[in-house]
């Protein structure tokens, strides 16, 4: 009896958990949190609801895991941009990265963190707040990087790191919206060029 129970409990899952999470992330990316039904999610993941709950928890927990995957995958440009040697290069890498991430040739257009919370009922406020915090954290890290640039003399002393960070974030969000509207990489990169034309020297 005990041996049989251990064999059942120890039986490996009949699906690839990373692949299932990747597919769930793409559904959330395309449909938003509320727009993604459990039926659509499990259908894309190729698993039953029971398997989803066992492997990932409820829908909100699945979304949190999908957001982590998004941050480490398509949206990793936001972290890598901070490693650029100059503030202008940081802004350029961030915005070019936003263009690439929001116009993938084999994925949804737009940004999961923007589209994921376009509509939020009272039941989804936790996810809405999660995404607000996610976006604010990205802005805070940009501000910190630009403040360092001022201290190092890379930006003028009168440059406002917070204002520059908000500017870059706002352009980045605008890129995501325009990508969802159908603009392609070439048009979006023209927007990046225009936005950085007056970058403080």
pLDDT digits (tens, 9 = 90+) for 45-76: 999 999 999 999 999 999 999 999 999 999 99
Q: What is the mean pLDDT of residues 174-181?
A: 95
- pLDDT for res 46: 94
Q: By CB neighbour count within 10 A (0-12 exposed, 13-18 middle, 19+ buried), where does 35 fall?
A: middle
For residue 86, pLDDT over 70 is answered with yes
Q: What is the mean pLDDT of residues 138-145?
A: 98
User: Predicted confidence band at 123 (pLDDT cuts at 50, 70, 90)?
Assistant: confident
Q: What is the mean pLDDT of residues 101-129?
A: 83
Q: What is the mean pLDDT of the chain?
A: 90
- For residue 196, give the DSSP letter: T
pTM (2 decimals)?
A: 0.88
- pLDDT for res 15: 82
Type and span of the H or E element at 50: helix 49-56
Is the CA virtual torsion 92, 105, 47, 119 positive or negative? Answer: positive
- pLDDT for res 119: 58
Spatial CA neighbour of 67 closest among 17, 32, 109: 32
6-38 tens-digit pLDDT? 433 444 457 899 999 999 999 999 999 988 999
For residue 5, pLDDT over 90 is answered with no
């Amino acid at each position: 009896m005990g041996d049989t129970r251990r064999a059942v409990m120890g039986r490996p899952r009949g699906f690839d958990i990373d692949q299932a999470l990747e597919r769930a992330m793409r559904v959330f990316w395309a449909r938003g949190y509320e727009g993604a039904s459990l039926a659509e999610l499990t259908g894309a993941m190729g698993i039953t609801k029971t398997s989803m709950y066992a492997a990932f928890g409820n829908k909100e927990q699945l979304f949190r895991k999908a957001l982590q995957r998004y941050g480490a995958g398509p949206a990793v440009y936001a972290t890598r941009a901070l490693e650029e040697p100059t503030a202008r290069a940081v802004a350029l890498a961030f915005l070019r990265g936003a263009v690439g991430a929001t116009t993938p040739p084999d994925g949804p257009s737009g940004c999961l963190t923007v589209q994921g919370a376009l509509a939020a009922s009272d039941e989804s406020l936790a996810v809405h707040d999660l995404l607000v915090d996610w976006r604010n954290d990205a802005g805070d890290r940009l501000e910190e990087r630009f403040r360092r640039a001022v201290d190092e003399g890379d930006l003028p002393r009168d440059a406002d790191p917070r204002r520059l960070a908000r500017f870059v974030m706002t352009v980045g969000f605008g890129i995501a919206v325009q990508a969802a509207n159908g603009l392609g990489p070439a048009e979006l990169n023209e927007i990046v060029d225009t936005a950085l034309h007056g970058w403080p020297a």
